[in-house]
Chains A and B, each alone.
Chain A
Amino acid sequence: MKKNLKKILLFVCVGIVFTGLLAGCNQPAQGPVNPNLQVDNQDNKEELVICMGTRPPGEFDPRKRWGLYSQSQIIHDTLLTRTPDLEIIGDLAESYFVSEDALTWTFHLREDYKFSNGEAVTIEDVKFTYEMLKEDGIHWDLTFLEEIEVKDQQTLVFHLSEPRSTFVAQLTEIVILPSNHYDDNYSENPIGSGPYKLVQWDKGQQAIFEVNPYYAGNEPHFKKFTLLFLDENAALAAAKNGTVDMIYVLPEFADEQIPGWKLYSYESNDVRGVSLPTQKSGSGTTPDGYPIGNDVTADIAIRRALNMGLNRQAIVDTVLNGHGKKAYSLVDKMPWWNEATIIEDNQVAAAQQLLQDAGWVDDDNDGIREKNGLKAECSLYHPSADVIRTNIAIVVAEQAKNLGININLVGSNWDEMKTKMHSNPLLFAGGRHHPHQFYRMHHPDLAGIAYNNIVYMNNPVVTEYMEQAMHASTQEEANENWKLAQWNGVTGASALGDAPFAWLIRLDHLYMGNSRINVGHQPIHTHGHEWSLLANISEWTWDASEK
């Protein structure tokens, strides 16, 4: 009798658990939502609640990478800025002038900019910001900046030790900080001169932004917006509950229908690919003491075979539900992209032949090729919390098997991957509005430092082109050299040349939101889905006529 009771209890428990699960489908859990923020469908809405990721990358402080992901224009201003067509125009600098030798950059600052505490933005603040970041030197490389000269209260002159064609990109990313209020706790109370100011930040929960009353530009339509830090599932649940106005969605969620909402989809150069270490194992260690090199991927035949043998379109269709494009390089669609590097992929037979010719033969018929006793086998690290990268890794491993290359997936986290990424393939990402990332990821001098050149690429021809591009005095000359660095007909950093990466896809950035929100003219998005969309939130409007 007692035993029966136990059994009944067990089944009841199981039953409850499953009913709970099923009920979970229909009644999404409430996020940590402030009841005051409930969405009300008024004709002229001026407040927004937005879910985009689980934390603000960079925490509002440029020393912690803030600004690298298009987020510069929310609570800050920069010297220069980009139009949606990626043209460079002035922001705090009303106008600027570059000398013929590209060594002297002169900026005329506007007078009317004020920080959100009412203090004026002075030329000293600009000088302080650049000098401080140059000294810090971790995320912003400003070593070429020789001297910052204050000519008069509106004129600032940057003297460079050598021409730097990517300096202009940094000028659009480095936010101007208040010299009187900047310290190590700046993240907690960031003061800037941008259209919005941060009024509250509960870490892991929400950040609330309100209009900066001292902003010099046009007043934004939306007076207040709240970022809720929820994961993708909780965000979708909150969307169905009607507690938010705009969310970032995974491609798998893109087909969900929410009344009054629509899908916002933007092309990006936010690429995903597999890094393929180019050096043999035993090539020493990085400055931080992590091992370098992988014997399998050090063979160029393996790297090229993966580049030509993988089926990029299948990844777009399977992982991204079609919301993406094939990618061939880190700089696809940018003015410095060499279009000759587009390769024909999914050439399984040709890739197999390439491996065969290079001596990779499956002698023991286990489906994995060998060469001199070495199996064509490697690990592929991917961040297990990142759904898209994990799914890409699964499909890549499966496709590589058809080529006779065995890829073992290792789900991991960034702390571990930092120690493994110089000796193992990694599911990597990138994409910027400037070519500096291309430089960092292929230059031998930067190899092993932070996420720069993790593959230890070292091709003197490529390096020379990149140096010339960096030191070019015009943008056209620079772009010409960036293109040659990718492929000059003989060698290069692209899949046609050394193939240090197998770039696979560019994902469309997908959002779902109230269809009355007009997000303005969006540029092609870069790596980082959150701030790519939010970058121009000061230009968003509410279109009441839209149904």
Chain B
Amino acid sequence: MKKYNARSKMLISLAVSGSIIALTIIFSFWLSPDNLITDFAKKSLPPTFRHLFGTDWLGRDMLTRTLKGLRLSLFVGFLGAFVGASLATCLGIAAATLGKKVDSVISWLVDMFIGMPHLIFIILISFAVGGGIKGVVFGVAFTHWPSLTRIIRGEVYALKNSQYIQISKSFGKSKWYIATKHILPHIIPQIMVGFLLLFPHAIVHEASITFLGFGLSVQTPSIGLILSEAVKHISIGDWWLAVFPGLVLVLVVKSFDNIGEQVKILINPASANE
């Protein structure tokens, strides 16, 4: 049997994780929404070949519901990670380059957000913008930046005092020029990894907040909603309503986490020995 070295192992695991996510997305589009039409002839069926994840109490196919729900989670997760990473980049650079006052304001903000439980902030924000899907999107998008901001700020601080930036400064280059031409290229790997590692967090938070409700319509397929509904049917033994959606959620989140970790090692091989 061929022995795989660390590099090919990593590529294989990247490929597996990547295809899990890709399959989820492809199937979520490919499965027909007709499977979501209620049908009393197909109520509460345990998993069969026709309905791999079984059906719910209104006869809707659980595989379709789960995957379409995950698509929402992925979308919200992407948005959360993207906005989080962008905010973190801007604030991190600003804190490190725009002087003491800006730095202390941003550091105070970061401390405040980190000091407060994540979920509570999401709940507050989603209430403030009026609940529903908009609330979930805003809530998740604007709460995932603080820790990455702190990392980037530290990174930029270290860079700022390096010789070539000092030289660039004495050549009379503007702060904007230094920020975009010298600092940004250096911290892009950090941003990438940060983005990827924010993703699973955002997905889990989306699931938890939709689990709690928050005005999300029962028509919107969402993994949290599926799980909270399943709780109401556990007592009559409909285990498939919770187990499969829960497993798929864990699988997808773990895949993203794995991709993030592997990319971190690829970009910064030294960390592989940690």
In the complex, which residues of chain B have a beta carbon less than 8 angstroms from the beta carbon of A397? 219
Question: Known contacts being A318-B59, A321-B43, A384-B213, is A393 close to B218, with CB within 8 Å?
Answer: yes
A8 to chain B, nearest CB (A): 13
Q: Which of A19-27, A123-131, A188-196 contacts B (4 or more CB under 8 A)?
A: A19-27
Is B58 a contact partner of A409 (Cβ separation < 8 A)? no
Minimal Cβ-Cβ distance residue in A for B42? A318
Chain B proximity mask over A308-339: 1 for CB below 8 Å, otherwise 0:
00000010011101000000000000000000
Q: How long is the Cα–Cα vector from A234 to B57 in the complex, in angstroms?
A: 18
In the complex, which residues of chain A have a beta carbon less than 8 angstroms from the beta carbon of B168? none
In the complex, which residues of chain A have a beta carbon less than 8 angstroms from the beta carbon of B215? 410-412
Q: Which of B93-101, B156-164, B237-245 contacts A (4 or more CB under 8 A)?
A: B237-245
Is B219 a contact partner of A25 (Cβ separation < 8 A)? no
Minimal Cβ-Cβ distance residue in A for B36? A398
Q: How long is the Cα–Cα vector from A122 to B250 in the complex, in angstroms?
A: 68
Question: Known contacts being A318-B40, A411-B216, A411-B218, is A18 close to B243, with CB within 8 Å?
Answer: yes
Is A28 a contact partner of B235 (Cβ separation < 8 A)? yes
Interface residues of A in 387-409 (CB under 8 A from B): 387, 390-391, 393-395, 397-398, 408-409
The answer to whether the Cβ of B217 comes within 8 Å of any Cβ in the partner chain is yes
The answer to whether the Cβ of B246 comes within 8 Å of any Cβ in the partner chain is yes
The answer to whether the Cβ of B38 comes within 8 Å of any Cβ in the partner chain is yes
Categorize the interface residue count of chain A. 35 or more
Residue among A3, A14, A236 making CB contact with B235, cutoff 8 Å: A236
Residue among B216, B217, B218, B239 making CB contact with A22, cutoff 8 Å: B239
Minimal Cβ-Cβ distance residue in B for A249? B236
In the complex, which residues of chain A have a beta carbon less than 8 angstroms from the beta carbon of B274? 2-3
The answer to whether the Cβ of B116 comes within 8 Å of any Cβ in the partner chain is no
Question: Known contacts being A236-B235, A256-B236, A408-B219, is A398 close to B37, with CB within 8 Å?
Answer: yes
Is B58 a contact partner of A319 (Cβ separation < 8 A)? yes
In the complex, which residues of chain A have a beta carbon less than 8 angstroms from the beta carbon of B247? 18
Chain A proximity mask over B236-263: 1 for CB below 8 Å, otherwise 0:
1101001100110010001000000100
In the complex, which residues of chain B have a beta carbon less than 8 angstroms from the beta carbon of A390? 218
Minimal Cβ-Cβ distance residue in A for B41? A317
Is A314 a contact partner of B219 (Cβ separation < 8 A)? no
In the complex, which residues of chain B have a beta carbon less than 8 angstroms from the beta carbon of A10? 254
Interface residues of A in 352-394 (CB under 8 A from B): 384, 387, 390-391, 393-394
In the complex, which residues of chain B have a beta carbon less than 8 angstroms from the beta carbon of A3? 261, 274
Q: How long is the Cα–Cα vector from A17 to B243 in the complex, in angstroms?
A: 10
Q: How long is the Cα–Cα vector from A21 to B38 in the complex, in angstroms?
A: 26
The answer to whether the Cβ of B232 comes within 8 Å of any Cβ in the partner chain is yes
Residue among A25, A391, A412 making CB contact with B237, cutoff 8 Å: A25
Is A252 a contact partner of B57 (Cβ separation < 8 A)? yes
Residue among A2, A17, A21, A384 making CB contact with B218, cutoff 8 Å: A384
The answer to whether the Cβ of A161 comes within 8 Å of any Cβ in the partner chain is no
Q: How long is the Cα–Cα vector from A392 to B136 in the complex, in angstroms?
A: 25
The answer to whether the Cβ of A253 comes within 8 Å of any Cβ in the partner chain is yes
Is A317 a contact partner of B40 (Cβ separation < 8 A)? yes
In the complex, which residues of chain A have a beta carbon less than 8 angstroms from the beta carbon of B243? 18, 21-22
Q: How long is the Cα–Cα vector from A135 to B243 in the complex, in angstroms?
A: 57
The answer to whether the Cβ of B11 comes within 8 Å of any Cβ in the partner chain is no
In the complex, which residues of chain A have a beta carbon less than 8 angstroms from the beta carbon of B182? none
The answer to whether the Cβ of B188 comes within 8 Å of any Cβ in the partner chain is no
The answer to whether the Cβ of A233 comes within 8 Å of any Cβ in the partner chain is yes
In the complex, which residues of chain A have a beta carbon less than 8 angstroms from the beta carbon of B234? 21, 24-25, 233
In the complex, which residues of chain A have a beta carbon less than 8 angstroms from the beta carbon of B233? 252
Is B239 a contact partner of A25 (Cβ separation < 8 A)? yes
Question: Known contacts being A28-B235, A318-B58, A395-B58, is A409 close to B38, with CB within 8 Å?
Answer: no
Question: Known contacts being A14-B250, A318-B58, A394-B58, is A409 close to B217, with CB within 8 Å?
Answer: yes
The answer to whether the Cβ of A507 comes within 8 Å of any Cβ in the partner chain is no
The answer to whether the Cβ of A455 comes within 8 Å of any Cβ in the partner chain is no
The answer to whether the Cβ of A237 comes within 8 Å of any Cβ in the partner chain is yes
Chain B proximity mask over A406-429: 1 for CB below 8 Å, otherwise 0:
001111100000000000000000
Minimal Cβ-Cβ distance residue in A for B247? A18
Minimal Cβ-Cβ distance residue in A for B60? A394
Minimal Cβ-Cβ distance residue in B for A237? B235
Q: How long is the Cα–Cα vector from A398 to B274 in the complex, in angstroms?
A: 54
Q: How long is the Cα–Cα vector from A383 to B95 in the complex, in angstroms?
A: 47
In the complex, which residues of chain A have a beta carbon less than 8 angstroms from the beta carbon of B43? 318, 321
Residue among A21, A237, A395 making CB contact with B242, cutoff 8 Å: A21
Interface residues of A in 236-265 (CB under 8 A from B): 236-237, 252-253, 256
Residue among A14, A22, A253, A398 making CB contact with B38, cutoff 8 Å: A398
B172 to chain A, nearest CB (A): 47
The answer to whether the Cβ of B111 comes within 8 Å of any Cβ in the partner chain is no
Q: How long is the Cα–Cα vector from A252 to B215 in the complex, in angstroms?
A: 24
Is A409 a contact partner of B232 (Cβ separation < 8 A)? no
Q: How long is the Cα–Cα vector from A314 to B216 in the complex, in angstroms?
A: 25
Is B213 a contact partner of A233 (Cβ separation < 8 A)? no
In the complex, which residues of chain B have a beta carbon less than 8 angstroms from the beta carbon of A387? 232
In the complex, which residues of chain A have a beta carbon less than 8 angstroms from the beta carbon of B58? 318-319, 391, 394-395
B1 to chain A, nearest CB (A): 22
Q: How long is the Cα–Cα vector from A412 to B38 in the complex, in angstroms?
A: 22
Is B232 a contact partner of A21 (Cβ separation < 8 A)? no
Residue among B39, B231, B246, B254 making CB contact with A318, cutoff 8 Å: B39
Residue among A14, A21, A232, A253 making CB contact with B239, cutoff 8 Å: A21
Is A408 a contact partner of B40 (Cβ separation < 8 A)? no
Q: How long is the Cα–Cα vector from A254 to B50 in the complex, in angstroms?
A: 26
Minimal Cβ-Cβ distance residue in B for A239? B235
Minimal Cβ-Cβ distance residue in B for A321? B43
Q: List 5 A-B contacts (CB under 8 A).
A: A317-B40, A384-B213, A391-B58, A408-B217, A408-B219
Additional pairs, 10, CB under 8 Å, beyond known A2-B274, A233-B231: A25-B235, A236-B236, A253-B236, A256-B236, A317-B40, A318-B43, A319-B58, A321-B40, A394-B58, A409-B217
Query: 6 closest A-B pairs (Cβ-Cβ)?
Result: A317-B40, A318-B40, A233-B235, A409-B217, A236-B235, A25-B237
